[in-house]
Each structure stands twice: as structure tokens, then as C-alpha cells.
Structure 1
Amino acid sequence: MVGGPTYPVRLGRKDGFVSKAEDVEGNIARPTMPLSQIIAIFASKNLSVQEMVALVGAHTIGFCHCKQFSHRIFNFSKGSEYDPAYNPKFAKGLRKLCANYTKDPGMAAFNDLMTPNKFDNMYYQNLQRGLGLLDSDHALAVDKRTKPYVEMYAANETKFFQDFAHAMEKLSIYKVKTGRKGEVRHKCDAFNSIKP
């Protein structure tokens, strides 16, 4: 619908019988985590640095609440109101957009301000221009482990689509439950029945 790649999705993946919010911590990346920690989380799921960079390309659509990046645009340091890694015009625009974020926690900015509703490689091009919204976005563009992949995907949308699709397929079969270890839910957000 938004122009991204297609890839096969295996049907019948089973969901577990346990679902606890506290189990999420440490299993998904947070935008303020050091890049080494984010890389380690993906590695623990058997995903390479390149696969991680490809998957993060999903930031080409969607948005983030101002709270997630406010520390980068307000009172950043004694010498700068905003993080100098930002493109100055972008930073000023974000400061204006998010001026009342403490009163209105719903305030948000697009991850990709150029083509926010299109799945493309613009996210990577934005990173190269200082238009990465989150700490983790900026880190991808400058860290020697990830920068070559950012550059490659910024220059080659076809390669990004291929690698994103491959990484999504790989992720879809991570820790697949078999036999009685899980169930195919009739409703995604509810167990079929209570298990002992």
C-alpha cells in the first residue's frame, strides 16, 4: 500500500501462551540505547548488523512522539539548544513542532519528513543530511559498523528492498513455536482459551 517490497509470509505461525509486558525489556531496541547495545539485541536474534540496518529502514514510514527526541532539541548543552548533529533548519522546525509536547504528549514528528507515507530509501538519504530523528538514527549514519550500509541503501533502493524483505522473512521464523508450545490465535490480541 505504501510502495514497499513484497515478501512471502509463512502462514500458521503459532503464538505463545504467555504474554507479559515486562518480558519486552531487553528484547527490543530503544532509541536512546548505545548502538553497541542495539547491535547486541539484534545479534541475540541471529540478525547481522546489515540485517539490522535494513530492518531499521522501516523508519521510512511512521512517526515518533516528541518525548522520544526532546532531549536532542531542547537544552541540549551549554553551547547549543539542540544537538548539532541535526540539520539546523530541521532542528528549528522540530523545536517549533514540539514546543508544547509536555502539555500535549501526542505531539509527534514523521520519521521521514520528505516522503512520510511512502516506503522508500529516503530514510537513509535523510540520515546523511542530518535529518535522523532519533539518537539511534543518527548513530547509524556515523558509526563505522553501520555507516557503509546506510550509504549503500541511500544510493540503491533496490538493494534496500531486497535486504529488507530477506531480513523480514528471517525475522518471521525466529523462535517459531511448534507442537503444543503455542497456538494459532483466532484473534491476534487474545488467547484462544486459558491454558493450565
Structure 2
Amino acid sequence: MASMGRPRTFDRDKAIEDAMYLFWQHGYESTSLTQLKAGIGNGISAPSFYAAFGSKEDLYRECIQCYLASYGQVTRRLWDSTVSPREAMETTLQDSARMQCEVGHPSGCMVALGALCATSVENTAITEPLTRSRDRTRAGILTTIKRGIEAGELKKDVDVKALAASFSTFLFGLSIQARDGASIEELLSAITQIMQLWDCCRQD
């Protein structure tokens, strides 16, 4: 009878979290297998890595899902019809900024920064879930603006696409600012300024 393999000596969920932080900080292409094996728990061997995760690509996909189910939930207010459209927009920006400046994990947003870390066609396909997440956020911003028009908060003749693009660009741009060291106070002040754009489009 064949002997059973040695049991895992690490927490798989914690290992995915550790790997997520590495991918978040360095991006898919720049995170090496050596970094991953050294950064998971107290370090794991190559056989243990492949037995647990299959491949770097498979692990990355799991890390994306882990991020989207946790930190990526900061945009959920965009679909909350129990709050006003303006509040939904402002709260989303504020929650995102606070998350991106928190200590204990890399700065910035893995979803937004993922767009900068996939230069090859092959790796662009690997990061497709992040692309879909950005598209969903853009759709949420567009929906929030349309809801603002329907609720009488915004003028009926407002350029919906242009306004949505302005807020989407600002939201994703927060990641670069946070990664470059902007403080939460600076980002919250910037959010106060961008919300004036919403107020300029208010219904008279």
C-alpha cells in the first residue's frame, strides 16, 4: 500500500492571504516563485507549493478572488439604493481611500494597480477578473449618476458619460496617489473637491 504524503504544515487560507499581499505589492509579473515560496507562512518548499496551489497562475486567481471578497467590497455602496446617490458616490470614494491608506497591507488598490502590472497578452488574460471588476465599478458609478438624475439630485441634461468618466478616473487614480505616499487626509480633501463636481450638476 502506497504511503500517504506528508500533511501540510501551513494554513492554506493564510497562505493565500500572504500571497495576495505579495501580488498586491509587486503585481503578477514582478512577483517571483522564489518570493512566493519565501513569503508564504515561514516559507514552503517547491513541492509543497505546487501540491497546494498548482501553479503561480492558479494561486494568483485565488488571490484575486480573496481580494474581491474582502478589500474589494469598498465599492458596494454604489449598488445601495437605501442611501442617496450623492452619499453612495462620496462614501464609495471615502471608503476606498481609507482602505488604500490602511496599515497592515500594501497601499493602493489591487484592482486598479492590476491594470499596470500585466504587460503581455498572456498575463492580460490572467488579470481578466480585475478588468471585469473595474468594468463593474464603472457601471456602478454610471448607475449611481443615473439614479441621481431620476431622484432629482442632478440635472436631466447632465452629460452622464462624461460625469461617470470623471468619477471613475478619480477613483482609480486614488491608487497611484496612495501608492506614492499620499496621506488619508490629502485624499479625503481631494474627495471633498471632486464632490463639488457633483454639486455643480445639481438640479436647480
Q: Which has the larger radius of gyration?
A: 2
TM over 0.5: no
TM-score, structure 1 as length reference: 0.26
TM-score, structure 2 as length reference: 0.26
